[in-house]
Amino acid sequence: MTVAGITSVQKEGRVFRPPKGFQKRAHIKSMVTYEKMYRQAYRNPGGFWAKAAKELVWFKPWSKALVWNAPDAKWFVGGKLNVSYNCLDRHLSTWRRNKAAIVWEGEPGDQRTLTYQQLYHEVIRFACVLKSLGVKPGDRVAIYLPMIPEAAIAMLACARIGAPHSVVFGGFSAQALKDRILDAGATCVITSDGGYRRGGIVPLKVNVDESLKGVSIVRHVLVVRRTGTPVSMAPGRDVWLHERIVELAARGKFSCRAEELDSEHPLFILYTSGTTGKPKGIYHSTGGYLTQVSLTCKWIFDLKDEDTFWCTADIGWVTGHSYVVYGPLANGATTFMYEGAPNHPGPDRFWDMIDRHRINIFYTAPTAIRAFIKWGDDHPKKHDLSSLRLLGTVGEPINPEAWMWYHRVIGGGRCPIVDTWWQTETGAILISPLPGATPTKPGSATRPFPGIVPDVVHKDGTVCKPNEGGYLVLKRPWPGMLRGIWGDPERYKKQYYGDFDGIYFTGDGARRDKDGYYWVMGRVDDVINVAGHRLGTAEIESALVLHESVAESAVVGRPDDLKGSAIVAFVTLKGGQTATPELKDQLKAHVGKEIGSIAKPDDIRFTDALPKTRSGKIMRRLLRELATQGEVRGDTTTLEDFSVLEKLRSEEE
């Protein structure tokens, strides 16, 4: 077995300490506190997480914090609780009753605010409707909605009655929806007549009708009215939400007790982004998940009662589950939701909303940040962003130059940035700064959260030296971890516990520097072997993005007789830049100068756009196939824009 690691070529030495004013008021104020907690949690993980779990309301206490038979974990064994009770009911007896739980803005500019009391009422009604459609504990419910308050309401209503939800991103096609409905075995689908996106209407109900052709397991489709678009309603199967509410209201008061669910009861199924292959149906539990989501949300986002927190993720992704809905609401916080595109009606839409709603904490993805950079600084500069006090990113490694831009232009140089590393599988954030304590370094997700034990290892499991790249693994179970791949326990074992004995393999390559900071270097599937050096994609891409004319880049390997692999870089340029042969040479020389000749691209290809998943992640495997075979054979169901691939393919010819 080879012990070869991944060679690191990155040079990044900048360090940013938490601003004094921020630090003074933060939940976690110093590295001394962090180190102490980390050590305690390391010695006694059960004790650490049990303390966090006690912040939740349990109908019945657990008997054991953890039972671990690798790869199967059970957290808070025997305990009973309900997620919707913890997100709603328990706040109603406090002053938070009339606090905004959700502040929402639709793409056309319409707005809604729901207090905790109002949200509770909406969830109760929704849960009664689901019950009237025969949905029972354990039944799976597919949710295919735009980012409207009903999306959160539907999730909470499912959680209340113990029906695991499977949210499918509203941008997915009928076929992708069908695959997910069938895989999860959903018996009910919740959708709307449409949703607003970039000035148009997404025909959600039409897609549902299409997806259900030949599907017999779905008994009901519950339809929320959003756009007023005429839709066809299949008699006996399809039900309007507002009509059913009127019918039920005529029969008496709405009431729906929160089911007392086992700590291990499945809360939801969610399919991964599909960046590396066919999406996996990940399922999560109730007690462990909520414990970790709630605590990470509070500490990593330094969440306070007076904050308005905006996580821009769609609820179709795990980030939307954990940090738009469950994390903020479990903490009694105000969560902001937006329905539409970031550039509608103009490229300053986000900054306009931050300004008007006085958003305090803003959490988005590197792909969005790179788009903002491309659109230009004028757009954020038109608005007052002084309400912001903390920024966050998630989804991909952030190029240090994009981090610096985010820090300077959006954060005004005063907001800490939390670069949060986690996965659909992990349920909650695992590696991230604590903003009042951790000094940050652009491009590093920094240190693990207390209770989390990552490591960077060689293929044979031996630990890598500082700055030596290797495989990012998790040595211990954590409460928010996936409980499996829906319907496929074998795949679960093989995918995550098949490479290292009893240890979870993340699929990511990383290095840990001498300060114990983690730097994700890209997926190990994407590692490029150049003359015996195994190079991660993120570092080469970051060097390209450092160049003033480059907006975004994706680097892949192509078989080469001499070197093993040649480096091919796909590059998109910033507005106003022209693609010339001279620029290609300049970029090659630039990478050589920044990080060394070993990482110098052999081939640079300019393109208008890169193939991405619908969650905005670069799909290098498609580019690799294109660069190697001249065509794409792999799974493309999660590709955002097929025309990008078509264009790249025609440029190839």
Q: Where are the beta strands (DSSP E) in 424-477?
A: 454-457, 470-474
Tell me the closest approach of the beta carbon of residue 557 to ligand ATP, in angstroms.
18
Residue 421 C-beta: closest distance to ligand ATP, Å: 4
Q: Pick from 334, 424, 542, 553 the residue near ligand ATP by CB under 6 A.
A: 424
Q: Which stretch binds ligand ATP (CB under 6 A): 64-72, 268-276, 344-352, 594-602?
A: 268-276
Q: Which is nearer to Mg ion, 263 or 420 (CB)?
A: 420
With CB under 5 to 8 Å by kind, the binding choice for 520 among Mg ion, ligand ATP, none is ligand ATP
Kindly list the distances between the CA atom of residue 428 and the CA atoms of 7, 214, 288, 613, in Å, as whole numbers in the listed order. 29, 36, 10, 21
- The CB-of-615 to Mg ion minimum distance in angstroms stands at 11
Among 359, 361, 391, 520, which residue sits at the site for ligand ATP (rule: CB under 6 A)?
520
Q: How far is the CB of 619 from ligand ATP (least distance, A)?
A: 9
Selection from ligand ATP, Mg ion, none that 618 binds (CB < 5 to 8 A by kind) is none
Question: Considering the rule CB under 6 A, would residue 172 count as an interface residue with ligand ATP?
Answer: no
Q: Of the two residues 316 and 601, which places its CB atom closer to ligand ATP in the complex?
A: 316
**Is the Cβ of residue 18 or residue 509 nearer to Mg ion in the bound state?**
509
Beta carbons within 10 angstroms of residue 458's beta carbon: 19
Residue 316 binding ligand ATP, by CB under 6 A: no
Shorter beta-carbon distance to ligand ATP: residue 431 or 648: 431
What mask, x for binding ligand ATP by CB under 6 A, covers residues 274 to 293? xxxx-x--------------
Specify the residue for token string 């990940």.
282
Strand partners, 621: none
- Site of tokens 């954020």: 380
Q: Does residue number 394 form part of the binding site for ligand ATP (CB under 6 A)?
A: yes
> CB of 163 within 8 A of CB of 139?
yes
Among 392, 395, 427, 536, binds ligand ATP (CB under 6 A): 395
5, 8, 385, 473, 530 from 459: Cα distances, Å: 8, 16, 46, 11, 18
618: phi then psi, degrees, rounded to nearest 5 = -70, 130
The CA–CA distances, whole Å, from 209 to 177, 201, 221, 290, 637 equal 11, 16, 9, 34, 19
- Please give the torsion angle defined by the CA atoms of residues 33, 36, 37 and 39, in that order, rounded to the nearest 10 degrees: 160
Residue 311: how many other CB atoms lie within 10 Å: 25
The DSSP letter of residue 251 is T
- Collapsing DSSP states into helix, strand and coil, what is residue 602? coil
Residue 407 to residue 276: CA distance in whole angstroms:
30
Inter-CA distances, 99 with 159, 526, 619, Å: 22, 46, 41
Nearer to Mg ion, 192 or 272 (CB): 272
Sole window of 292-300, 378-386, 403-411, 415-423 interacting with ligand ATP (rule: CB under 6 A): 415-423
Residues that bind Mg ion (CB under 5 A): 272
Query: Whose CA is closest to 328, among 112, 172, 155, 160?
Result: 155
Nearer to ligand ATP, 424 or 565 (CB): 424
Does 440 engage in binding with ligand ATP (CB under 6 A)? no
Q: How far is the CB of 37 from ligand ATP (least distance, A)?
A: 21
What are 212's two structure tokens? 């259900």
User: What are the tokens at 150?
Assistant: 């009903």
Record the tokens describing residue 74, joined without a space.
């059970």
Q: Does 227 bind ligand ATP (CB under 6 A)?
A: no
User: Judged by CB under 6 A, does residue 105 bind ligand ATP?
Assistant: no
Gap between the Cα atoms of 244 and 129, Å rounded: 7
Q: Strand 564-573 vs strand 603-606: parallel, antiparallel, or unpaired?
A: parallel
Q: Which of residues 560-599 bind ligand ATP (CB under 6 A)?
A: none
Q: Which of 475, 556, 515, 574 minimizes the C-alpha distance to 42?
A: 475
Under the criterion CB under 6 A, does residue 552 sit at the interface with ligand ATP?
A: no
Binding residue (CB under 6 A) for ligand ATP from 523, 533, 600, 605:
523
Q: Which stretch binds ligand ATP (CB under 6 A): 28-36, 157-165, 213-221, 269-277?
A: 269-277
Residue 506 makes contact with ligand ATP by CB under 6 A: yes
H/E stretch holding 77 reads strand 72-77
Least distance (Å) between residue 437 CB and ligand ATP: 18
Q: Which range of residues in 142-150, 273-281, 404-412, 482-490 is near ligand ATP by CB under 6 A?
A: 273-281
| Residues of span 442-481 touching ligand ATP by CB under 6 A | 445
Interface residue with ligand ATP, options 265, 379, 617, 620 (CB under 6 A):
617
Q: In this complex, which beta carbon is closest to Mg ion, that of residue 272 or of residue 360?
A: 272
How far apart, in whole angstroms, are the C-alpha atoms of residue 272 and residue 562?
A: 37
Measured from the Cβ of residue 467, the count of other Cβ atoms closer than 10 Å reads 15
Distance CA 26, CA 23 (A): 5
Stretch that binds ligand ATP, among 32-40, 297-305, 413-421, 497-505 (CB under 6 A): 413-421
Q: Which of these ranges, 87-95, 240-248, 421-429, 551-559, lies near ligand ATP under the rule CB under 6 A?
A: 421-429
What is the three-class DSSP state of 638? coil
CB of 614 to ligand ATP, least distance (A): 10
Going by C-alpha positions, the residue among 307, 294, 318 that lies closest to residue 56 is 294
Q: Kindly list the residues in this chain that would bind ligand ATP in the complex (CB under 6 A).
A: 272-277, 279, 394-397, 419-424, 445, 506-508, 520, 523, 615, 617
